[in-house]
A and B are shown apart, each in its own frame.
Chain A
Amino acid sequence: MKIPLVYNVRSIRQRPVSTAMTGLGIALVVAVFVAMLALANGFRAALVRSGSPDNVMVLRRGADSELSSGISRESARLIAADPRVAVDAQNRPLASPEVFVVINIPRAVGEGVNNVVARGVNEQAFPVRNIHITEGRTFRSGQSEIIIGEKIVPRFAHTALGDTLRFANRGWVVVGHFSAGGSALESEIWGENEQFMPVFRGEVFQSVIVRLKDRASFPEIKRTLEGDQRLTVQAQRESDFYRGQSTLLTNILTSLAIMITSIMAIGAIFGAVNTMYAAVSSRTSEIAVLLTLGFAPRSVMASFLVESAVIALLGGIAGGLLALPINGIVTSTTNWNSFSEVAFSFRVTPGLLLSGAIFAVVMGLVGGFFPAWRAARLQVVQALR
């Protein structure tokens, strides 16, 4: 661009208040954009991380979630015996038959419905699902002991080590806390499946999760299990299962984000249009000079477009910074598939911030277009009259 950038930069500085206000308008649009998508991102990430492509989630055929599924002990044994299932150092299959229930427990602060997932597992669940004890120890077989996911420890009452949590007419001692790579599993309470079974749902598991020896063998094991007459099951990659669970809410949040920020963007663009028109009007003699000197009209237009884009970009960066502090803040919503609470953190990614900046520049270019065009079409003769 032939007209020096320093001209635009200095001109922006000549009207600091106007520039700041326009930039701030754009900053707020970008901040809302980043914040809402960070919310959607966070929820999605929590759920997606819960599943691994190396694992297979087996549910009863026709069930759309663990809640509505049921698998007998015999079926669970057959599934675990499949040759494609990986084994651990002691040659035991890495298969986790799980009891899945939703329980109601009191909050740490205030009232509110407190549906939390309680999952009954055996020791195989830990390697299969990549769970790590962060405090205390895991539960012992045969005992009324439970461990609590990190994310919900601060949110509910009686979750400290040594506390007793009451549900299903029994007291359960909290012996440990666990982490699960930031996934939705961290919003759960875990205990032994044999302990949970009789108390809750009778003699069935809700799901069986197995680790594959070879990730690529999934299509085969799916065919085998689903075709087996003794079983009535469906098999999915664990990662696909959780991705499906996150879709509804992620879509709602994303659509909401786009709708809201689009409307806001129009307002911000109007602000940019006003500012740039005013800038062009107050600088007609300068534009006339540039045109007289021989700068082509399209150079003048480019110059003003760049000016508008720069203001907008500064606003976009400010907006990203404004939204940045929410990264990592924990909030919660309900996973309607399991009717239980999922706690997750806002996730601001570099990609998101970049999108925000680009969004800002687009707003600046759209807003600056007509004013820049007018600058380029300035009739020198009339301007100098």
Chain B
Amino acid sequence: MSLVQVRDVHKNFQRDSQQVSVFEGLTLDFEERSFTALMGPSGSGKSTLLNLLAGLDRPSSGTVTVAGSEVSSMSPGKLAAWRARHIGFVFQSYNLLPVLTAFQNVELPLLLAPLSKKDRAERVKIALGVVGLEDRMDHYPRQLSGGQEQRTAIARAIVSDPTLILLDEPTGQLDKKSAQEVLGLLQRLNAEFKKTIVMVTHDAHAAERALQVLHLDKGELTA
């Protein structure tokens, strides 16, 4: 059974007075340990799909199931807890809390779990070690370069050992070198640490690093 199952999903938005339809009966699967790049023009629905997978949004009809849990019908309260446990989300604009250090930012998801301070510190250090930023853990985001910020964000996304890692244009704001570092890290996470990854991107070079590429256009999978 695949890790993620999207079945006959319809999604409509109300934008001003217009009814916009993003998906009309989308069905697809993501296998465990897959590394998928989602590409498509703007408005194709790739970010919406990511949000549906994370439980940040609900389909108008149809189901989304992740690791056996039907995400599309969970109550908001349960969703929050579920997301903390199962999802690692990386944003295009990093979205680190500027008033917290790298260490504290990475620690955030762990505060939702019943762990002791010592356990948390251990896991944070491991996560930062994986992304290669252990020596920067007491730095504030403004003291880090763009690439380092994004890697910290990735550390935050993996620290609770989530089922699924979702990234929305992770290299969109990075220069070529930093982008390469981040993509290399993602490949490592998938190959070595067996993480399932879905990455939305419009960058063909980034998509190349993934194991498979899906194209979305107007809410439908194209070749």
Residues of A within 8 A of B (CB): 2-4, 6-7, 10-11, 13-14, 285-286, 288-297, 380-381, 384
Q: Which residues of B contact A14 (CB under 8 A)?
A: 98-99
Q: How far is the CB of A78 from chain B (nearest CB, A)?
A: 80
Q: Which residues of B contact A6 (CB under 8 A)?
A: 100, 104
Given contacts A294-B109, A294-B112, contact A286 B97 (CB under 8 A): yes
Q: Is B215 an interface residue, CB under 8 A from the partner?
A: no
Contact of B112 with A292 in the complex, beta carbons under 8 Å: no
Complex Cα distance, B99 from A13, in Å, reads 9
Contact of B99 with A7 in the complex, beta carbons under 8 Å: yes
Complex Cα distance, B75 from A296, in Å, reads 12
Given contacts A10-B99, A294-B83, A297-B76, contact A4 B56 (CB under 8 A): no
Q: A10, A285, A289, A290 — which one has the most chain B CB atoms within 10 A of its CB?
A: A289
Interface residues of B in 154-196 (CB under 8 A from A): 156, 168
Complex Cα distance, B98 from A11, in Å, reads 9
Could you list 9 examples of A-B contacts with CB < 8 Å? A4-B104, A6-B104, A10-B100, A286-B95, A289-B91, A289-B97, A292-B83, A293-B84, A380-B56
Contact of A293 among B76, B83, B104 (CB under 8 A): B83
Q: Is B130 an interface residue, CB under 8 A from the partner?
A: no
Complex Cα distance, B76 from A295, in Å, reads 11
**What 7 A-B pairs come out closest when comparing CB atoms?**
A294-B84, A10-B99, A294-B83, A289-B95, A296-B80, A294-B80, A293-B109
Interface residues on B, range: 20 to 34
Q: How far is the CB of B190 from chain A (nearest CB, A)?
A: 21
Q: Which residues of A contact B83 (CB under 8 A)?
A: 292-294
Interface residues of B in 3-59 (CB under 8 A from A): 51, 54, 56-57
Given contacts A3-B111, A285-B95, contact A292 B100 (CB under 8 A): no
Q: Is B137 an interface residue, CB under 8 A from the partner?
A: no
Contact of B57 among A13, A288, A289, A381 (CB under 8 A): A381
Contact of A294 with B91 in the complex, beta carbons under 8 Å: no
Q: Is B202 an interface residue, CB under 8 A from the partner?
A: no
Q: Which residues of A contact B84 (CB under 8 A)?
A: 293-295
Complex Cα distance, B12 from A272, in Å, reads 39
Contact of B111 with A2 in the complex, beta carbons under 8 Å: yes
Interface residues of B in 59-109 (CB under 8 A from A): 76-77, 80-85, 87, 89, 91, 93, 95-100, 104, 108-109
Nearest A-chain residue to B113, judged by Cβ: A294
Nearest B-chain residue to A292, judged by Cβ: B89
Contact of B56 with A296 in the complex, beta carbons under 8 Å: no
Contact of B80 with A297 in the complex, beta carbons under 8 Å: yes
Q: Which residues of A contact B100 (CB under 8 A)?
A: 4, 6-7, 10
Q: Which residues of A contact B104 (CB under 8 A)?
A: 4, 6
Q: B54, B98, B108, B168 — which one has the most chain A CB atoms within 10 A of its CB?
A: B108
Nearest B-chain residue to A10, judged by Cβ: B99
Q: A2, A14, A294 — which one has the most chain B CB atoms within 10 A of its CB?
A: A294
Given contacts A2-B111, A2-B112, A285-B93, contact A294 B99 (CB under 8 A): no
Given contacts A285-B93, A286-B95, A286-B97, contact A293 B108 (CB under 8 A): yes
Q: Which residues of B contact A288 (CB under 8 A)?
A: 95
